Amino acid sequence: MATTMSRRTVLAGTAAGVLGATIGAGRSEAAAGGVTAVTGVTVFDAVGGVRRGQNVLVRGDRVLDAGDLRRVPVPHGARVVDGRGKFLIPGLADMHTHATEIDPRDPELYAVNGVTTVRQMSSSDAVREWRAQIAAGARLGPQLIVGSAIVDGAPSLWEGLGVPHLAVADAAQARAAVREQAAAGADFIKTYTRLTSGSFHAIAAEADRLGIPFLGHVPDFVPVTDASDAGLRSIEHLFEFWYDTSRDERRLRREIARIKVAGGDYAGWFTGLHPIEYAAARTYDRDKAARVFERLARNGTHVTPTLTVHWTCDVPQDVPHDDPRFRYASADTLGYWQWATENIYLKGRTPRESAERRELFVRRLRLAGALARAGVPLMTGTDLGTAYLMPGFSVHDELRLLVHAGLTPAQALRAATYEPARHLGHRDRGTIARGNVADLVLLDANPLRDIGNTTQIDSVFVRGELIDPATRQRILAEIEAAVQNKPSTGAVPAAVGCACGR
C-alpha cells in the first residue's frame, strides 16, 4: 500500500503563524458571563421560517433565548445590538475545503464572512493545529471537521504530488487504510476517484464496522446508486452523476474502464475523461435520473455540488482576475492560481473543448436544480484550494450559484445551515433556538429577497463571540496588510495542490 503522509508542500516559503493582533479581538461581554441581546431583528432559519420583531439573547457560547420581543425581554445590563431593519441567520458552512497553507489566515477569513462550520476534506497537520488553537481560545475561527488522508486507488492521481493520500490496490489494503486513518483520529474517511469497486465496498464495510463515516468522491468504477446504498454519507461534486443518468450508460462505463491513468497524472485524468463525461451529459435521461435521485433521497445521501469549483474548472477563462477580494491573497497565492489555471485547466484546451465545457457547466447547474427538486439534501461547499477560490467569500458565491441553478434563496440557505448540521449529527446547530450554539450572522439586507445579501454582513457571532462591525473591519485590514507585506518567493509550485474536484 503506497503512502504519502507529509504536509502539503506546494510552494516554498509557506507562511506560518496566526494574526496575533486579532486574538481575542471583539470578545463580547457574553464571554465574561454577561448577555448580548440582538433586539427587534427579523430571524430566519430552515425550521422556524421568518420571524419578525425578535429578541435573541446570547450568553457564553449558546443562545440563551430567542422569541418575540414581548416574550423575551432584554436583561438589565445586557450588551445591546440593534437588530431593527436587519436579518439574523444561522452561521454558514463550507462542507468541502482543502487548506493550502500558503496564506494561513483561513480561520479568520471564514469567521468574518459568517462561515462558522468548515469540513476539511483531506488530512492536514495545519488544520488540526488551527483547530487546537481555536478550541484553546488562542485564535478566532470556525468549527473544523478534519478528514482522513485521501484514500485512492493504485496508482493514485496524487502519486508523487505531495498531497496526503493512501493508494490502495485491493480490498485488504482498503480495510487497512480505514483502520489506520481511524486510529490517527480522522473524523471521517475520504474516498477518491480511482478506487476499484472492490476497494470501495471494503472501505464501506470497514467504516461501518468501526463506526466512522465515509464520504467523498464516487469512484469512476462505482455507480452513484451503489455508493449511496453502501452508505456513502455525502457525494462530492457533480462528476459521476452523468453516467447513472445516461441512456448510454453501459457503453460509457466500458469506455471509462479502458482509460488508463498513470500515477500522479491528475491532468491526464481531467482531460482524458472529458469526452466521456460530455457524452454522458448529452445523453441525460430524465426518467433514469428521477429513479437515481429518488434512491439518494430515500437513503438520505447528501450531495455537495461545489458549483464554484466546477465554474473555475469548466470555464476558467470567465473567472475575473481583478476581483477586489483578491487583496486578501498573497502574491504567492495569486501566482499559484495562475500557474494551475494555465498548466491544468487551459493547457492544450481547444476552442471546441472550451465550448463543450461551457455547455457542461450549464448542464451542471440544471443537475443541481433537479437534485434539489427531487428532495436530495444539498450542502454548500467550495473546494477551497482550487484556483481563485477564497476562504469564506466563496461560500457566498456558492449560494448565488445554487439560486442560479433553480433553488430558492430559502433552499440555498438551508443547504448552508440546516443540512450541514443534520449531516454532521448536530441537533444544536443550523437553527436559531434556545440552547443552540450561538453561531449567527447579522445581515443588513434580506437574503430571501436577494441571496447576494448574505454578503451584507453587519456582525457575526462565532460560538457566542461577537465580531462587531469595527472588529470585523479591523481583522480584514490586518489580513490585507499581512498578505500584501508578505514577500513573494516567486516559486513555481512543486505539486498540484489545487486540482478541480479534490
Write the burial class of residue 429 (CB in 10 Å: 0-12 exposed, 13-18 middle, 19+ buried).
buried
- Cα torsion for 101, 102, 103, 109, to the nearest 10°? -50
**In whole angstroms, what separates CA 144 from the centre of its chain?**
11
**pLDDT score for 99:** 84
The rounded distance, in Å, linking the Cα atoms of 166 and 152 is 6
Please report the pLDDT score of residue 31 as a whole number.
Answer: 40
Are 406 and 372 within 8 A, CB to CB? yes
Mean pLDDT of 92-112: 90
Tell me: the pLDDT tens digits for 19-56? 444 444 444 444 445 999 999 999 999 999 999 999 99
pTM: 0.93
What sign has the CA pseudo-torsion 110, 140, 481, 122? Answer: negative
Q: Cell 481560545, residue?
A: 137
Residue 488 to residues 13, 340, 442, 485: CA-CA distances in angstroms?
A: 9, 17, 36, 9
CB 65 within 8 A of CB 39: no
**pLDDT tens per residue, range 135-192:** 999 999 999 999 999 999 999 999 988 889 999 999 999 999 999 999 999 999 999 9
**Per-residue cell: 300:** 438520505
Candidates 296, 391, 425, 407; CA nearest to 92 is 391
Q: Is the pLDDT of residue 69 over 50?
A: yes
Strand duo 35-45 + 79-82: pairing:
parallel
Return the residue matching grid coordinates 423575551.
72
pLDDT at site 33:
53
R_g of the chain, CA atoms, integer Å: 22
What backbone phi and psi angles, to 5 degrees, belong to 169? -100, -15
Burial of 275 (0-12, 13-18, 19+ CB in 10 A): middle
pLDDT interval class at 242 (50, 70, 90): very high
> Residue 491: what pLDDT?
65
Tell me, what's the pLDDT at 499? 62
Q: Read off the pLDDT of residues 428-450 as tens digits, 9 standing for 90 and up.
A: 999 999 999 999 999 999 999 99
pLDDT, the chain, mean: 91
Q: In this predicted structure, what is the pLDDT of residue 497?
A: 47
